[in-house]
Amino acid sequence: MVAVRLDGVATAAAIKSELTERIVALKARGIFPGLGTLLVGEDPGSLSYVAGKHRDCAEVGMESIRVDLPAKASAGQIRAAIEALNIDPRVTGFIIQLPLPAGINENAMLELMDPAKDADGLHPANLGRLVLGVSGSLNSPLPCTPAGIVEMLHRHSIEIAGKHVVVVGRGLTVGRPLGLLLTRKGLDATVTLTHSRTTDLAAEVRRADIVVAAVGVPALIKAEWLKPEATVLDVGITRVVDPVTGRAKLVGDVDPDAAAVAGFLSPVPGGVGPMTRAMLIANVVDAAERVGYNA
């Protein structure tokens, strides 16, 4: 048996095509959604992520506004850039590309964003709304990777309700908010959130109907840990250099042999990554629709 591949590129393309239509409809009403990005420094990974976000915007017909500051920018300069994005009417949502340079308090910077323009769904007010919103519809942006994971499962008709989900990694962008999202009424998963101090990770993973690996340790999750036919979503990304070709490639947290045991497998690359990017665009479009004008 070989696991069915959950194709994040194709699924994200379908989402982007729906978003393109919503953007056309907004523009017809005189509302122009736009994504702002704030990048501080020249971290190669961050440069490439930001470039990808601007390409995604162009693809769906949305404006994007790029603000780049040097790595030596002071906290005051970063604060001023955030304040300018908060009041820029072209920007209906924006992101602060993380990580910020050492010495800059990331949480303090995130708190300065207008929560209504928080495209990553990581502002404390929006994370707080997720904590408080056990049931009913949520009128606030969700963190993009958890939202992308749920969307990936929905669009492949993979049942979540009543299933046991084991999330590996308690990071702020994936693991922690994903547990909150999956246990909302209506999704109704039972979630076990594991981390580096979990005493028997293999035993936890073995009990899972759905495994989400968001760690950043290549091949941490072994094929023999999986329940046969489990759904496995690989989220972790590690850049490794192939010793033979000298070329860099991205690898996930899940041992490639898992494809012989899992029922569904979302790979790295080409799985949750493109879904995350699509959900970022969705957050910006949602924000423009909610506000209903270029504020």
Binding site for ligand NAP (CB under 6 A): 145, 168-171, 173-175, 194-197, 201, 214-217, 220, 235-237, 272-273, 276
Of these residues, 56, 114, 118, 120, which one is catalytic?
Answer: 120
Residue number, 8 or 31, with CB nearest to ligand NAP = 8
3 state SS of 251: strand
Residue number, 171 or 263, with CB nearest to ligand NAP = 171
Main-chain dihedrals φ then ψ at residue 94, nearest 5 degrees:
-145, 165
Is-catalytic flag, 97? Answer: yes
The least distance separating ligand NAP from the CB of residue 34, rounded to whole angstroms, comes to 22
H helices present in the chain, as ranges: 8-28, 44-60, 75-87, 106-112, 124-132, 144-155, 175-182, 201-206, 272-291
Of these residues, 97, 114, 117, 209, which one is catalytic?
Answer: 97
3 state SS of 258: helix
- As a whole number of angstroms, the longest Cα–Cα distance in the chain is 57
The least distance separating ligand NAP from the CB of residue 177, rounded to whole angstroms, comes to 10
The least distance separating ligand NAP from the CB of residue 214, rounded to whole angstroms, comes to 4
Residue number, 174 or 282, with CB nearest to ligand NAP = 174
Q: Exposed, middle or buried: residue 88 (CB in 10 Å: 0-12, 13-18, 19+)?
A: middle
DSSP H helix total and E strand total for the chain: 9, 11
Of these residues, 16, 53, 117, 227, which one is catalytic?
Answer: 53
Is-catalytic flag, 120? Answer: yes
Q: Are 251 and 238 in contact (CB under 8 A)?
A: yes
d(CA 223, CA 206): 10
Residue nearest to ligand NAP (CB): 171
The least distance separating ligand NAP from the CB of residue 176, rounded to whole angstroms, comes to 8
Residue number, 31 or 234, with CB nearest to ligand NAP = 234
Residue number, 226 or 237, with CB nearest to ligand NAP = 237
SS3 content of the chain, % helix, strand, coil (to 5): 40, 20, 40
Q: Exposed, middle or buried: residue 268 (CB in 10 Å: 0-12, 13-18, 19+)?
A: buried
The least distance separating ligand NAP from the CB of residue 196, rounded to whole angstroms, comes to 3
Active site residues: 53, 97, 120
